[in-house]
Amino acid sequence: MNAWWLAAIVAVPLGLDQLIPAPAENPLEAGRVKRGRELFFDRRLSRDGTVACATCHDPARGFTDSAARAVGIGQQVGPRRSPRIVNRAYGKSFFWDGRAATLEEQVVQPIANPLEMGMRVEDAAARVGLTREELTRALASYVRTILAGDSPYDRFIAGDRTALTAEQQAGLKLFRGKANCVACHLGPNLTDEEFHATGPVGTDLGRFEVTRREEDKGAFKTPSLRQVAETPPYLHDGSKASLEEVVELYDAGKGSDPEIRPLRLTAEEKRQLVALLRAFTGRVQEGLP
């Protein structure tokens, strides 16, 4: 996935079925993607008919929501924030703890989760006249087409030196240098797809719950920074209300990951970094033309 492609992905939505990676057993097909989009908004997939995938992954909010932690059927509150799901076609694992290896594994887990949609996947599929396999393939296909790009950052990287303000360009130097954000937020999708303990270990043990390795206690997946400015609150537990608060957290450098250390940013440098983070917001496209 190259920067030029991300810059153009929304502006030139042609041939996306060939640009988006998909497994051989579930190739992108327009009809399947269309069905997946319908299912994404279908509340019948939840036990009481009150929750759809789009409830927590709202297209108007960068495919997440405004809640600090996910809210499911019966107003049950889950342990973690609903993640943004843009550009997940390029993900290496899914959920904050990486417990799903493919989108096909990921899309059905919220349906079965008693705190979220609370249905046996087979029963949910039967409600909408599909088999489990048909439901899974359709939802995964649609999620693969949710793409973000054409941001000021993308245009700057592609050669438009006017796309970022002077303040944002200063923030980019900090991002790559003194603040060392690129240690985790790198590449076209601004994530290393790895797991890091960026704060004190609390009751949610994160990746440890999947691997049982001591070094994974309190580690969570690095989120992509695409559309980050329009999707507060932040972190796996939704504990930071603004980008300014997130920058303050990392400036303090109290995580156990070796990449986390005090940054000693000035007030002006913090403003510059936040300005850059706002430049990662572009346009979002979903579905196939």
Interval 85-93 mean pLDDT: 95
**Structure confidence at residue 14 (pLDDT):** 41
pLDDT at 93 over 80: yes
Report yes or no on 161 lying in a domain.
Answer: yes
Output the pLDDT for position 13: 44
Q: What angle do CA 227, 229, 231 make, to 5 degrees?
A: 75
Residue 16, pLDDT > 70, answer no
pLDDT at 12 over 60: no
The model's pLDDT over 99-109, given as tens digits with 9 standing for 90+, comes to 999 999 999 99
Domain final residue, candidates 95, 114, 147: 147
**Across 20-29, 126-135, 254-263, 274-283, least confident range:** 254-263
User: What three-state secondary structure class fits 2?
Assistant: coil
Q: Which of these three, 132, 147, 162, is where a domain ends? A: 147
Q: 17 and 288 in contact (C-beta within 8 Å)?
A: yes
Q: Which residue would you say has higher pLDDT here, 261 or 42?
A: 42
Tell me, what's the pLDDT at 18? 61
Regarding predicted confidence, which is higher, 86 or 13? 86
Distant-in-sequence, close-in-space partners of 145: CB < 8 Å, separation ≥ 6: 16, 20, 28, 33, 89, 285, 286, 287, 288
Is the Cβ–Cβ distance between 207 and 19 less than 8 Å?
A: no
Q: Are residues 218 and 241 in the same domain?
A: yes
* Dihedral sign (CA 251, 255, 258, 259): negative
Query: What is the predicted pLDDT for the residue at 260?
Result: 85
Same domain, 270 and 215: yes
Among 181, 218, 235, which Cα is nearest to 97's?
A: 218
The answer on 188 and 250 residing in a single domain is: yes
Number of domains in the chain: 2
What percentage of the chain carries pLDDT values higher than 70?
Answer: 94
Domain boundary among 96, 123, 147: 147
118 with 239, same domain?
no
Q: Confirm whether 287 is domain-assigned.
A: no
Q: Kindly give the residue spans of alpha helices, DSSP state H, lying in the chain.
A: 3-8, 16-19, 30-40, 53-56, 103-112, 121-127, 132-144, 152-157, 166-176, 208-211, 243-252, 267-278
Confidence of residue 15 (pLDDT cuts 50, 70, 90): low
Tell me the helix, strand and coil percentages in the chain, rounded to 5. 40, 5, 50
My answer on whether 154 and 183 are in the same domain is yes
Q: Which of 22-36, 166-180, 187-201 has the lowest mean pLDDT?
A: 187-201
One domain for residues 259 and 205 = yes
Using one digit for the tens of pLDDT, what is the confidence trace for 205-254? 999 999 999 999 999 999 999 999 999 999 999 999 999 999 999 999 88
Q: Are residues 249 and 178 in the same domain?
A: yes
Least confident of 7-16, 136-145, 175-184, 201-210: 7-16
Say if 30 falls within a structural domain.
yes
Q: What HEC string does 154-191 produce? A: HHHHCCCCCCCCHHHHHHHHHHHCCCCHHHCCCCCCCC
Q: Is residue 1 part of a domain?
A: no
247 and 210, same domain (yes or no): yes
The parent domain of residue 50 ranges over 10-147
**4: in domain:** no
30 and 142 housed in the same domain: yes
48 and 135, same domain (yes or no): yes
Say if residue 2's pLDDT is above 60: no
Question: Is 70 exceeded by the pLDDT of residue 73?
Answer: yes
Average pLDDT score, the chain: 92
User: Does 108 fall in a domain?
Assistant: yes
Question: Nearest Cα to 148, choosing from 13, 260, 249, 41?
Answer: 13
pLDDT computed for residue 198 by the predictor: 86
Residue 224 in domain: yes
The answer to whether 70 touches 116, Cβ cutoff 8 Å, is yes
Q: What pLDDT score was predicted for residue 257? A: 79
Range with the poorest average pLDDT among 17-21, 26-30, 162-166, 224-228: 17-21
Say if 3 falls within a structural domain: no
SS3 call for 18 = helix
Residue 166 burial class via C-beta count within 10 angstroms: exposed 0-12, middle 13-18, buried 19 and up: exposed
**CA neighbor of 228 nearest in space, from 172, 274, 277, 283:** 277
Let me know if 43 is exposed, middle or buried by CB neighbors in 10 A (0-12, 13-18, 19+).
Answer: middle
d(CA 19, CA 3): 13
pLDDT category at 288 given cuts 50, 70, 90 is confident
The CATH number of the domain where 205 resides is what?
A: 1.10.760.10
Q: Do 220 and 209 belong together in one domain?
A: yes
Short-list 127, 129, 190, CA closest to 154:
190
Residues 136 and 113 in one domain: yes
Question: What pLDDT is recorded for position 202?
Answer: 83
